[in-house]
Amino acid sequence: MHADLPRLSRTTPAAKAGIVHLGLGAFFRAFGAIYIEETMKASGGTGQNNWGIIGVSLQSSRMHDQLAPQDFVYTAQELGPEGETLRQAEIIRDVLVARENPEAVLAAMADPDVRIVTLTVTEKGYCHDPATGRLNADHPDITHDLKAALPVSAPGYLVRALARRKAAGLPPFTVLTCDNLPDNGRLVRRIVLDLAEKLDPELAAWIETEGRFPATMVDRIVPATKPEDIDALARKTGRYDAAPVLHEPFRQWVVEDDFVPAYGADARPDLGAVGVELVENVTAFEHMKLRMLNGTHSSLAYLGYLAGHETIAETVADPLFARFVKNLWRQEIIPSFEAPPGVDLEAYADALFERYANPGIRHRTWQIAMDGSQKLPQRILGTVRDNLTNGRNCPGLCLAIAAWMIYVGGADLEGKPIDVRDPLSDRLKSLVGESDGDAGKVAALLGVNEVFEPGLAAAILAPVTAAYAALKADGVGKSIGTLS
């Protein structure tokens, strides 16, 4: 149906690049790229205020192939409860495909005009051990990057590009991660230093002294774009956009204001002018978002999927789940951390529920359930650990962990196959299949040290086993109903 429709095209000249973004997917295009474009418009987009973005796809050429025929512009479609609004985003000036031309990516990152490298490579893209937060030196991409000058991993690109800047006498770029990881800036710094130390201790010392890795908290729900969304947009606009993004109205970006000082006032865009919260320490905001939003998102994803719900909105429309998630916030999550200054956590929970219930956002439980082995430590297990340390039980979160265990076994409660997408999926499925009984399966999965720290695994063995058995015997509805 799109053959006769004109493609999108650029209406303004492409801005000079000041940012390279690794992992150009829907989230960053619906979030960070929009903020950056707004700073450009607010500042006039001239001189050192130029912050055009070069996107990098680390694996596939799909994003380049979709955006190149339309001058790298795309539609951002905001889905509110009462309707939608459209905007054309033009901040992306190019998309490079790392697997096809790694030299071009390194050259872009080493360009003197590039002062920031942003990342949304998901938890698994950092090639680290989620349980310890350190570089996984045995990861296949890291073993490659330790031997080859042209890297394949995100940490490899960061380190090799920083090495080029050091050799050229340039300051480093600021590394600004936008992934949902606790203490994400310091985590990425540690991973980069681990890899740099193995390659060149002098380089590691330079990065440690001169580099900056501000932590961030990012928040906007961005469901996956489906073919029918593209078709519907084409009918509305009369133009074909191969890569639109859909997003909710809400957004929040909290950034530690710690950028490479060598660039002075030109170290970053004027983020504060467009609503970004620039703070000294982002930890309290991270805990709030990771635990209250991402933790309940994952809990609802696994339990909702097993209950037959396709989306989060559909899940929380079920009164049992609505009561369940509200109890999670009140009884298990809010008591586990200190609120950011001036933030009412009860009001934040109420706002989250309204966002979840937005019928315009079809955020699939299956999509949120991806890569759970990488997400659980940050989203759920930290909350459980802190509660147990302070003598509080976590029956709801233990039920969510048990639901994840059933999910990664590859079959739902009726025995129907699940398309599990996880870097450890083969191993997790084998552990479930080779273990006897509910207790054996739970114990086997709790023994996966990349996910569960041994002390925590021992502490939750009994409640998670009981929750797993309850789900298998009674189903999701009765299991969450008994928690209310």
pLDDT in tens, 340-383: 988 999 999 999 999 999 988 889 999 999 999 999 998 999 99
Hey, how many other C-beta atoms are within 10 angstroms of the C-beta on 421? 12
Structurally, at CATH architecture level, domain 283-481 sits in: Orthogonal Bundle (1.10)
Lowest mean pLDDT among 77-81, 135-139, 165-169, 425-429: 77-81
- pLDDT level of residue 49 (50, 70, 90 thresholds): low
Name the percent of the chain lying above pLDDT 70: 98
CA 333 to centroid of chain Cα atoms:
20
Q: Which amino acid is at 331?
A: Q
The two most distant CA atoms of the chain are separated, in Å, by 66
The reported pLDDT for the residue numbered 431 is 97
What number of H helices and E strands is found in the chain?
A: 21, 13
Q: Could you tell me which residues come within 8 angstroms of residue 41 by beta carbon, excluding any fewer than 6 positions away?
A: none
* Residue 164 and residue 202 in contact, taking contact as beta carbons nearer than 8 Å: no
User: Strand 17-22 and strand 52-57: pairing?
Assistant: parallel
pLDDT tens-digit map of 169-199: 999 999 999 998 889 999 999 999 999 999 9
- Residues 55/21, Cβ–Cβ less than 8 Å: yes
Which pLDDT band, with edges at 50, 70 and 90, does 484 fall under? Answer: low
- Looking at residue 47, what is its pLDDT? 44
Query: What fold characterizes domain 17-279?
Result: Rossmann fold (3.40.50)
In this prediction, residues 64-79 reach a mean pLDDT of 97
- Hey, is 53 helix, strand or coil? strand
pLDDT digits (tens, 9 = 90+) for 104-129: 999 999 999 999 999 999 989 999 98
Cβ proximity of 432 and 410 under 8 Å:
yes
Mean pLDDT to the nearest integer, 203-211 = 98
Q: Which residues pair with 94 in a beta bridge?
A: 54
442-447 average pLDDT score: 98
d(CA 86, CA 444): 48
Checking if the pLDDT of 48 tops 60, the result is no
pLDDT at 361: 87
Please choose, from the candidates 219, 303, 296, 287, the residue with its C-alpha nearest in 3D space to the C-alpha of residue 253. Answer: 219
Which single residue is written with the structure tokens 């696994």? 302
Query: How do the domains of the chain map onto residue ranges?
Result: 17-279, 283-481
Q: Are the C-beta atoms of residues 101 and 123 closer than 8 Å to each other?
A: no
Res. 268: pLDDT tops 80: yes
Give the confidence band of 80 by pLDDT, cuts at 50, 70, 90: confident
Specify the range with the lowest mean pLDDT, choosing from 36-45, 150-159, 336-345: 36-45
Q: What is the pLDDT of residue 2?
A: 78
What's the pLDDT score for residue 466? 97
pLDDT at 1: 58
Q: What is the rounded average pLDDT for all residues in the chain? A: 95
pLDDT at 45 over 70: no
* Pairwise pLDDT comparison (181 vs 395), residue with the higher score: 395
Q: Would the pLDDT of 3 be above 80?
A: no
pLDDT computed for residue 267 by the predictor: 95
What secondary structure does DSSP assign to 111-164, as a single string? -TT--EEEE--TGGGG-EETTTTEE-TTSHHHHHHHH-SS--SHHHHHHHHHHH
Instruction: Write out pLDDT tens, residues 299-313.
Output: 999 999 999 999 999
Half-sphere exposure of 5 (CA within 13 A, CB side): 18
